Chain A
Amino acid sequence: MPDVFAVPVFFICFRECLETSIIVSVLLAFLKQTLGPEHDAMTRKKLIRQIWFGVAVGVFVCICIAAGVIGTFYTAGQQVFESAEYIWEGVFAILASVIITLMGAALLRVNKMQDKWRVKITKAFEVRDSSLPVKGRFKRWTEKYAMFMLPFITVLREGIEAVLFISGVGVGLPAKSFPLAVICGLAAGTLVGYLIYKGGNQTSLQIFLIISTCFLYLVAAGLFSKGVWDFEQNAWVKLAGEGAAEAGSGPGSYDIRKSVWHVNCCSPSANGDGGWGVFNSLFGWQNSATYGSVISYNIYWLVVIVGFVLQGFKERTGHWPLQKSSAKEISSDTGSDHATTGKGKQGGVVSSNVREIQE
């Protein structure tokens, strides 16, 4: 299965697509609210068309960029990577693991993402209102086509992010493992986005998100462990040379001094044992576990557990454990996405503002 379905790629697509669809849905909702039935249907239709047009163009540009980046990666990068295959696989596995870990938690706060974007969009329109008579044809053009530009830029941004992540994660994977994963990721992201837009059953939606996040972290844990394993395997192949390559999954394919367990079968990399590749992608299974791979796997979970407990503690109490709750850091602050340590830059926006503006 890993030959045709790259699990990390799937999750990256899912996640980026979900964010995009949330933005689009917020925009659509915004139009619905601001241009109520009293406005003429023509304008509304035109603006809605603008939104979809922006999405389409954004997607198209993304695809072009992706094709370019991945193309260069595979042609130019191949030789570089082949010479030190295990090192590269290890580096990218750990990189992918870190990326997934950092952005994974945000999935659980997707509802809040909706709020965040509502604020942003409203702000964007506000700015336009306040700076009216200003200048330049470009500015006017962007104002006129704001409903095009917003989704376009968003899609572009999320798309490029996805492309970069995917090329990072996917460097060690065969090219044919991409398409299915990308398509499924996009489809799932769109579906969930649509469900959120429709405002379906919040609880079951959240459960769905929890399950997918759990898988995401299982994948990330496996990748982290595999990254360490790759480094060790690189050292072993360097030491044992031809012999290690000849040995397949039998004796000599691994360093007995670092082995925790080894079974002469069920290798995720052996071509025949396809099923074990799924285990490898989902849970980080290795037929030849090393001290490094086992310990790193457990350490990964330890870090994740501590991280989530701290985050949960903070969201609940408003301050980190062992820290006094200060007057300035009031609980309303937590509304934005602190969960995404990597991306929570707009965290300062207070949710009460949203309500003010909407009124």
Chain B
Amino acid sequence: MAISLSHFLLAKSLLLSLVQAATVTYDFDIGWVYANPDGQAIRPVIGINGQWPIPTISVTKGDRLIVNVQNSLGNESTSLHFHGLYMNGTNHMDGAIGVTQCGIAPGSSFTYNFTVDQPGTYWYHSHAKGQYPDGLRGPLIVHDPEDPHKDLYDEELVLTFSDWYHDLMNPLLAFFMSVANPSGAEPVPNSALVNETQNLTISITPGRTYLVRMINIGAFAAHYIWFEDHTMQIVEVDGSYTEPTDADMIYMTAAQRYSVLITAKNNTDANFAFVGAMDQDLFDVVPDGLNSNVTGWLVYDDSLEKHPPKDVNAFEPFDDFSLVPWDKEELYDKVDRTIRLDLKMDNLDDGANYAFFNDVTYVRPKVPTLYTVLSTGPNATNPTIYGSNTNQFLLEPNEVVEIILNNDDPGKHPFHLHGHTFQVISRSDDEAGFYDPSSSSSFPSTPMKRDTVLVRPNGNAVMRFRADNPGVWFFHCHIEWHVVSGLVATIIESPLSIQSQLANKIPSDHYDTCLILNSPTAGNAAGNTQDLLDLTGEFRSPGELPAGFTARGIVALVFSCVAAFLGLGVISWYGMMPVKAKTG
């Protein structure tokens, strides 16, 4: 009852803000530029309007955001995903290629147009296969006139943390997904960046309190983050306000966000370093000479020295599980639908290493899943039509969904769900194994809410959300390497509601780019519009590794045995010759 009431109030406030809402327009010409953010290597990066780092998108809650994209890359398709935005009623603007749109073909243009009804710290990035680490990633800040913490700070700062590669993603991906990398070792970044640079200095006015919006826009590495001699007070994670909570060090996985309040000291006696330290546990092999830290300084007095950061004894970050959301949204305790996802990594018969949910690795369908929903009428409720490699789950309107994620892999994985924030109701330590529903009964009454959650090595996590946002939503590991190796599920939420929301409302530029790329826009996952259950020709993953002896193995073994026996026979014949000669 309480929930529906709050929804009602929210809707009313939305209506109010819509009245004064503005339209914010960005014209983005996406193209290659050169950059050298760590001073070690000049490389091509994907910039916007000839600039890199790319601009911060800044809107106020309730605004309409229009982004006109022109793809001038020449050699790659692209797209923009606005990470964390619910896209309620505008699923087709979510930007995920193969899910809600085709890639924006080189030379063509595409318009994202939607309203932003949620406050907080977000980011936007390419959702084309493995592309954003080449540079197409930037902050998206939604200001909130009704921010409950607005009286607590004087000024806002945005800090992005990220990892950086000296090589382009395409060659790195070619190696990563190849027979030469059977263990699936992710390429290790060459350096860490803050605001896409290093040794950043921030001028601080004594006594002021800053709202520092921190975003991990990296491809892979999580960051330990601390400000020397300054305490962080967490007030927002992933767009959800929290009860202010103190932390000395936080752990921010790829795609997570933290807004923290930092109060400046009252004197200008010294400057203070802050550090983003990439979590080396993620790296298969730490190369010699890798500086996995990036340092910046809170500068109180520019004439004073900026000391290198002090060593820390151990990484003991704040555990975000204990955060309490500001709206005190209560635990969804009645679950209508449980989705269990068992994660593993394994090799397929091309020798490369793939990631699996429930033994299926994701391969994008020929037709973006949203277009399959929109073009199949009543059949849209049949999961089969969405393909064999899409890990699809169909949800009924408004049911409470529980995702149980069992990590059968010794790596850390940050999982992100498009279109929702979820309650994180349970998260195990390392090596806890699979989730056991019978032994876990006490959940937090007001669980923390995020859109990206860390799942620990060989551990598990349980998330719940209400299916109140019709759309096709990606659920995936936000390590970009793992998106490519298939650690993705497709959540198809109320397909018939999607049809009623979006039928005939997809702008023509969406379909035009499909046409240019020769991608079908209707039918099942294979593009078949006649027999929707016929998936012939769909994109499939490589086959499984042959198990032991196949026909050719048996033939080879038999052949070898016959050869050996023949040989032994001839040797015996030769050996008996003199004996025969003697006796005969």
Contact = CB atoms under 8 A, between A and B. Distances in A.
B583 A203 contact: yes
Contacts of A255: 179, 351
Contact of B557 (A242, A244, A252, A261): A261
A297 B351 CA distance: 25
A283 B560 CA distance: 10
B183 interface: yes
Given A251-B182, A297-B560, A304 B349 contact: no
A34 interface: no
Contact of A246 (B183, B549, B557): B183
B559 to A, nearest CB: 6
B505 interface: no
B197 to A, nearest CB: 32
Contacts of A243: 180-185
Contacts of B556: 260-261, 289, 294
B183 A252 contact: yes
B568 A217 contact: yes
A99 interface: no
Nearest to A238: B180
A301 B560 CA distance: 9
Task: Please report whether the interface of chain B is mostly helix, strand, loop or mixed according to DSSP.
Answer: helix
A113 to B, nearest CB: 12
Given A242-B284, A263-B548, A256 B350 contact: yes
A251 B345 CA distance: 11
Given A243-B182, A289-B553, A210 B571 contact: yes
B563 A244 contact: no
A257 B351 contact: yes
A305 B570 contact: yes
A127 to B, nearest CB: 30
A311 interface: yes
A60 interface: no
A221 B563 CA distance: 10
Contacts, number: 129
Contact of A247 (B182, B285, B559, B579): B182
A93 to B, nearest CB: 17
Contact of A301 (B548, B563, B579): B563
A252 B582 contact: no
A7 B350 CA distance: 37
Contacts of B550: 261
Contacts of A253: 182
Interface stretch (A10-18, A104-112, A149-157): A104-112
A251 B564 contact: no
A36 interface: no
> Which of B183, B285, B347 lies at the interface centre, i.e. has the most chain A CB atoms within 10 A of its CB?
B183
Contact of A311 (B183, B284, B574): B574
A261 B557 CA distance: 9
Contacts of B578: 108-109, 111-112, 206
B182 A105 contact: no
Interface in B351-372: 351, 353
A256 B181 CA distance: 12
Interface in B561-579: 563-564, 566-568, 570-579
B351 A214 contact: no
A308 B571 CA distance: 7
A315 B577 contact: yes
A260 to B, nearest CB: 5
B566 A301 contact: yes
Interface string B538-564: 000000011011101110110110011
A315 B576 CA distance: 12
A202 B563 contact: no
Contacts of B347: 251-252, 256
Contacts of A112: 578
Contacts of A309: 570
B409 interface: no
B546 A262 contact: yes
A209 B575 contact: yes
Nearest to B284: A242
A240 interface: yes
Given A203-B579, A240-B182, A242-B285, A261 B549 contact: yes
Interface in B422-477: none
Nearest to A111: B578
Nearest to A264: B548
Given A240-B181, A243-B181, A252 B353 contact: yes
User: How would you classify the secondary structure of chain A's contact residues: helix, strand, loop or mixed?
Assistant: helix
B547 to A, nearest CB: 8
Contacts of A213: 571, 575
B146 to A, nearest CB: 52
B579 A206 contact: yes
B549 A308 contact: no
Nearest to B350: A256
A256 B180 contact: no
Nearest to A304: B567
B396 interface: no
B69 to A, nearest CB: 38
Contacts of A308: 570-571, 573-574
Interface string A312-326: 100110000000000
A253 B182 CA distance: 8
A242 B564 contact: no
Contacts of B549: 261, 263
Interface in B239-287: 284-285
A108 B350 contact: no
Contact of A256 (B349, B557, B566): B349
B346 interface: yes
A78 interface: no
B557 A210 contact: no
Contact of B572 (A203, A210, A311): A210
B530 to A, nearest CB: 37
Interface string A117-157: 00000000000000000000000000000000000000000
A341 interface: no
Given A289-B556, A305-B570, A262 B349 contact: no
A302 interface: yes
A298 interface: yes
Given A108-B575, A263-B548, A252 B564 contact: no
A210 B564 contact: no
A312 B574 contact: yes
B283 to A, nearest CB: 12
A203 B554 CA distance: 38
Given A256-B350, A260-B556, A316 B577 contact: yes
A111 B575 CA distance: 11
Nearest to A204: B579
Contacts of B573: 308, 312
14 contacts: A202-B579, A202-B582, A210-B571, A213-B571, A242-B183, A243-B180, A247-B183, A256-B179, A262-B546, A289-B557, A298-B559, A304-B567, A308-B570, A308-B574
Given A252-B183, A301-B566, 11 more contacts: A105-B574, A108-B574, A112-B578, A210-B572, A210-B576, A221-B564, A242-B285, A244-B182, A251-B347, A260-B553, A283-B564
Query: Which 8 pairs from chain A and chain B are nearest by CB?
Result: A252-B182, A261-B553, A243-B183, A251-B347, A210-B575, A301-B563, A256-B351, A301-B567
